[in-house]
Amino acid sequence: MNMKKLIVGAAFLLVASFLSFMFAGEPVRVIVFGAHPDDCDIYAGGTAALFSKMGHKVKFVSLTNGDKGHHQMQPEALAARRKQEMQEAARSLGIVYENLDNHDGELMPTLENRKAVIRMICDWKADIVITHRPNDYHPDHRYTSTIVQDAAYMISVPLMVPGGEPLLKAPVFLYMHDNFQKPAPFSPDIVIDITPVIEQKLDAICAHESQVYEWLPWNGGYEEDVPADVAGRRKLVADHLLRRKMSDKYREPALKWYSPKQVKNISYFEAFEICEYGNEPDKEEVLQLFPMLPR
């Protein structure tokens, strides 16, 4: 990686962190709901690392325990292993990680799961809630999205909230990226340059060894391509799971937040779509909620 970019990125983080503490007041509180114990890391790990470095609070939640995501391990042993991997990823990003222990591949949008998500959003006092889009390929992803969407309004209803402490200020609800086109493609509203923290994100993803070195290569037909050495394995993960190509689809939205020169220097990024449920922020609100974005 270009050393100059790393130095510039580190300097940016120091300045952004200082400004965040000087002017932001209360820390921004972010909660990300994924279906499986590696989803949040893959789609929002860089943004989480940026928030954490600036003193803000981030929680990742997996709605399942991931106990079916392997071609050799048995469910109970795999679930235990994936809980350990989650905590290693959390240490890499400086965040909190939790799962709701539903079985992998069996998640349903039940009232029980909706209440659990309502409680977690309210207990975290979230300013930002991030999850999958509702037309993702995996049923667990789709139902995670449905559960979070179903909670979006109900977090303001006292009798629906355990303890009776609703969130009267609606959070911003965001969707994570996917490539599916029907019934509607992902529409990036917020693009975040994660180049300064890409090694942290890679650390977090690589912590999920059962997935990125075993299950995904087997399931994707590239098991024989997995190198034995650490550097080779990290490169494999980077090649398969990091977003680097700033196509026109992302360049135009990125120019809402960064100068043309800054966009040109973005090597890695994450993008999010604003959900119509919850608060729909204007540009100034987005800048307040995402203090890593330049003013």
- pLDDT at site 203: 98
- pLDDT at site 9: 52
- pLDDT at site 2: 54
Q: What is the tally of structural domains in the chain?
A: 1
Mean pLDDT, to the nearest integer, of 100-109? 97
> Could you read off the pLDDT of 228-253 as tens digits, one per residue?
999 999 999 999 999 777 888 999 99
Q: Is the pLDDT reported for residue 286 higher than 50?
A: yes
Residue 55 domain-assigned? Answer: yes
Ramachandran category for residue 28: left, alpha or beta (phi over 0 → left; psi -120 to 50 → alpha): beta
Q: Residue 93 is part of a domain; what is its CATH number? A: 3.40.50.10320
Residue 228 domain-assigned? Answer: yes
Residue 181 domain-assigned? Answer: yes
Q: Is the pLDDT reported for residue 266 higher than 80?
A: yes
- pLDDT at site 18: 43
Residue 294 domain-assigned? Answer: no
pLDDT band at 16 (very low <50, low <70, confident <90, very high): very low
Q: Is the pLDDT reported for residue 33 higher than 90?
A: yes
Residue 295 domain-assigned? Answer: no
Count CB neighbours of 264 within 10 A: 10
3-state helix, strand, coil in the chain (%, to 5): 50, 15, 35
152 lies in which domain range? 3-289
Mean pLDDT, to the nearest integer, of 125-152? 97
Q: Is the pLDDT reported for residue 162 higher than 70?
A: yes
- pLDDT at site 17: 46
| 105 and 66 Cβ atoms separated by less than 8 Å | no
Residue 20 domain-assigned? Answer: yes
> Could you read off the pLDDT of 106-123 as tens digits, one per residue?
999 999 999 999 999 999
DSSP assignment of 53-111: HTT-EEEEEEEE--TT--SSS-HHHHHHHHHHHHHHHHHHHT-EEEEEEEPTT-----H
- pLDDT at site 243: 77
- pLDDT at site 95: 98
pLDDT band at 25 (very low <50, low <70, confident <90, very high): confident
Helix (H/G/I), strand (E/B), else coil: 7 = helix
Q: Is the pLDDT reported for residue 21 higher than 50?
A: no
Residue 133 domain-assigned? Answer: yes
Residue 154 domain-assigned? Answer: yes
Mean pLDDT, to the nearest integer, of 170-175? 97
Residue carrying the six token digits 């909230």: 161
